């Protein structure tokens, strides 16, 4: 009996990219760019690489020979379609208001249909690429979400809501009686 093993090699694949806050929610308004890593020479335009969100062309989509760029939306991850086998860099070029620019992610699309992210203790195989943004500490919470204050404690004692004000930037101002 002879055993025959067939291995299928791919030349390009679809890659999901998720842009999230630290709670795991998709973030609206980040401008992300995919470029070739050193030594890679994909021509994004001639390879037919494109991006979709919610089944439609990605927001702000720009494809040139040396890069693919799009703007994230909170309703959907991005599907990068037809990305050839190779090494790439995902870079956040503009962070949404209220967030810091995330570190770039180096990743590889392999001919066995897997995606590997570099820089982890050992390069890690992933189903999708997740880039997380941290909140910008110099911008109030209101820039990201509406503040919700249900109670204020001073030295463990709750004070009534007529003794404090929630400001538009999410900070709380305490009346002079408690200051």
At 153, the pLDDT band (50, 70, 90 cuts) reads: low
Over residues 91-133, the pLDDT tens digits come to 999 999 889 999 999 999 999 999 999 876 566 778 889 999 9
The rounded distance, in Å, linking the Cα atoms of 107 and 104 is 10
Q: Closest Cα to residue 132, out of 159, 106, 158, 95? A: 95
Is-contact 67 44, C-beta < 8 A? yes
Is-contact 22 132, C-beta < 8 A? yes
Write down the pLDDT at residue 148: 53
Is-contact 56 118, C-beta < 8 A? no
Q: How many CB atoms lie within 10 A of CB 67?
A: 19
* pLDDT at position 146 over 60: no
pTM over 0.75: no
């Amino acid at each position: 009996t002879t055993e025959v093993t067939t291995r299928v090699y791919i030349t390009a694949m679809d890659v999901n990219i998720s842009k999230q806050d630290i709670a795991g929610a998709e973030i609206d308004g980040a401008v992300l760019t995919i470029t070739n890593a050193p030594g890679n020479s994909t021509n994004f335009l001639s390879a037919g690489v494109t991006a979709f969100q919610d089944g439609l062309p990605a927001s702000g989509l720009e494809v040139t020979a040396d890069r693919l760029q799009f703007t994230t939306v909170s309703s959907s991850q991005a599907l990068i379609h037809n990305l050839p086998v190779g090494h790439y860099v995902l870079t956040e070029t503009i962070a949404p208001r209220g967030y810091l620019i995330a570190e770039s992610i180096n990743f590889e699309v392999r001919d066995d249909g897997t995606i590997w992210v570099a820089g982890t203790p050992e390069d890690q195989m992933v189903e999708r690429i997740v880039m997380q943004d941290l909140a910008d500490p110099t911008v109030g919470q209101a820039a990201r979400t509406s503040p919700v204050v249900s109670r204020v404690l001073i030295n463990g004692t709750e004070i009534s809501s007529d003794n404090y004000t929630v400001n538009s930037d999410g900070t709380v101002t305490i009346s002079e009686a408690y200051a």
